[in-house]
A and B are shown apart, each in its own frame.
Chain A
């Protein structure tokens, strides 16, 4: 099993703790995120509440994904056969480099020096745009949020809405400053009304859509028994890319497969309601290879591993591959809401990123070692997940992996071992408690405001002083046993 190599963009990312500390100081971003996530939480709750059989759908979604994950070679071969039978060409990529090389060669073969892109997590993960630009090929992101990130020379901070950390006023500034440099400029009288901003994006991108000869997409689902690819979107930029160019290249993670077309009856209920909080997203496109006289006639699918086989090898961790990239876990996560997406050091932020990145990339780097701890284990993510990924349990599982890989000599490990020794025998615990309550008598009954070694706690929290009597001392006094001396 081969891990992903850390990409140049996220190389040397600090730990989550450090990055989050900086992000917390960005009050504008915190306000933007709090506003956006509370909006989407309410919408999701309303449309999920409309579906009486939601729990059954979640179970069906998890079962469909597990069926595929347990037999991935079978379903991939079936998908490939159906794609080929319908006129598509299938490529396989072991890692990001190989996928980028395949796409670059395909684009070069068309003679085009530009591509239009449908929002795709897989191509972000492999940093395809950067590779294309290096080779002199312009990659135009056409999803509004991706456009905002690209024009703002920024990094994505959310799976569904990569520019969630930007508010309308910031977006207006980016459009006015940057659009003219790469195409049709924003109108002089552009306001920060969302409708006007969307209109500016429409005008800016239309000339690119109409002249584009090559499009690059991902896929939300790839249906094994028919060879159908599915893209779920809102704006119509996806339809533009999937319909107008002559060549379409789709980069699809191997875990995106669903067994049958009928499974869409489940997933097209789960995804939109979990993702944008709509009964259905405005547009969903489905295509099966090449359709004569309709849409691209040169259709390629690149099936991507890039660390996924490593995730699959862990029989508990593999459930993270059920993920359909809906973002519900991000939107309900109190840690994400405050730390923002950049602190996760990956295109996959939030709770799912905290379990996916350390599995895709391993736990060697500072950020990947820290991600399993970037959670209070409150469980809101598991509750919201449409495919029932038990993220809290996976986080704990990965914490164990981080600890097992460490030397065992850290101050934390030593104090954990000491505590474990104490808890291994109630007499040791009782002896330690006597020490603690003795301390409390010396301190008197005052609340402790600072204590050496407790800096992380006391920076904004009082420390309760130990009680004059532990519970077991009270029990011995009132219900009857003597507290023995420790051995």
Chain B
């Protein structure tokens, strides 16, 4: 790895449009750690929503786009376990389903260079203390795709434990799904809300001011329930906490 690795940021369509603070914080953090960050403007979406709802053809078109846009880069980093999970676990399979061997190879190739933020920090940059400062009571929800698809294990927690001033408290039944699940949240809204309500209850039990996760989509769901309950718990992306410093607090 060169001293100044060039990182292509995959912001993800959801963060880009609805939660820009997460990719912004990712840029701030990576630049602070000495990376050169580029944002390939042609990027749009990983296609996960299409794929997971059964629209494989639409998903495949986005696999092709992703592979083309990010082909030139040594490292692709996204602040989303779920979208990286789709790139790594679904893209090549979609190409295979479409019978496109060239695309399958291209998808596998770029997937091997695509990292979820905490993986990139711990495994590639080799840091756990990123110099962050965040003097708040925080609990962390691991999110299913980071946990069971990417197997990031405790990397996000290693990063959070090294944050100065943080009061990190364990979330009960942390590994259980929050019930978001993409279009599941709409198609099976009743079960989704029942799951999310249990997650929100566990969050409240911790007494945390801030709920942190590596996926804004899960946080939108849990945060939406906490908001409706007037629980007074903020949701923040892991990148925002890690980008926070004494000079420039989040």
The short answer to whether A and B are in direct contact, CB under 8 Å, is: yes
Chain A: residues with CB nearer than 8 A to chain B?
Answer: 16-17, 20-21, 24, 334-335, 338-339, 372-380, 382-383, 393, 396, 399-404, 412-413, 416-417, 419-420, 422-426, 429, 433, 436, 447, 449, 456-457, 459-464, 466-467, 469-472, 474-475, 479, 481
Residues of B close to A339: CB separation below 8 A: 191
Residue in contact with A466 in the complex, picked from B17, B54, B61, B145, CB distance below 8 Å: B17
Most chain-B CB neighbours within 10 Å: which of A374, A403, A471? Answer: A471
Chain B: residues with CB nearer than 8 A to chain A?
Answer: 11, 13, 15-21, 23-24, 27, 39, 41-45, 47, 49-56, 58, 61-62, 65, 90, 93, 97, 144-145, 147-149, 175-177, 179-197, 220-221, 223-225, 227-228
Are B188 and A424 interface neighbours, CB within 8 A?
no
Are A457 and B189 interface neighbours, CB within 8 A?
yes
Residues of A close to B97: CB separation below 8 A: 400
Q: How many residue pairs bridge A and B at CB < 8 Å?
A: 183
Residue in contact with A373 in the complex, picked from B16, B177, B187, CB distance below 8 Å: B187
Known contacts A373-B187, A416-B58; decide if A462 and B224 are in contact (CB<8 Å): yes
Most chain-A CB neighbours within 10 Å: which of B23, B43, B188? Answer: B188
Are A472 and B16 interface neighbours, CB within 8 A?
yes
Are A403 and B53 interface neighbours, CB within 8 A?
yes
Are B177 and A378 interface neighbours, CB within 8 A?
yes
Q: Name the CB-closest residue of B to A479.
A: B39
Are B39 and A376 interface neighbours, CB within 8 A?
no
Residues of B close to A481: CB separation below 8 A: 41
Residues of B close to A380: CB separation below 8 A: 144, 148, 175-177
Most chain-A CB neighbours within 10 Å: which of B90, B190, B195, B221? Answer: B190
Residue in contact with A417 in the complex, picked from B17, B58, B62, CB distance below 8 Å: B58
Q: Name the CB-closest residue of A to B38.
A: A479
Can you name 24 A-B residue pairings with CB atoms under 8 Å? Answer: A16-B188, A24-B194, A335-B191, A338-B191, A339-B191, A376-B177, A376-B195, A380-B177, A382-B148, A393-B93, A399-B52, A402-B54, A412-B53, A416-B55, A419-B50, A423-B65, A424-B62, A426-B41, A429-B13, A447-B227, A457-B185, A464-B18, A464-B224, A471-B16
Residues of A close to B177: CB separation below 8 A: 334, 376, 378, 380
Q: Name the CB-closest residue of B to A433.
A: B17
Residues of B close to A396: CB separation below 8 A: 51-52, 54, 90
Taken together as a complex, chains A and B put the C-alpha atoms of A457 and B47 apart, in Å, by 21
Residues of B close to A400: CB separation below 8 A: 54-56, 97
B220 CB, min distance to chain A CBs, angstroms: 6
Residues of B close to A436: CB separation below 8 A: 17
Known contacts A400-B54, A416-B58; decide if A24 and B190 are in contact (CB<8 Å): yes
Are B181 and A375 interface neighbours, CB within 8 A?
yes
A38 CB, min distance to chain B CBs, angstroms: 9
B56 CB, min distance to chain A CBs, angstroms: 4
Top-5 shortest CB links A-B: A376-B181, A461-B224, A399-B54, A378-B177, A403-B54
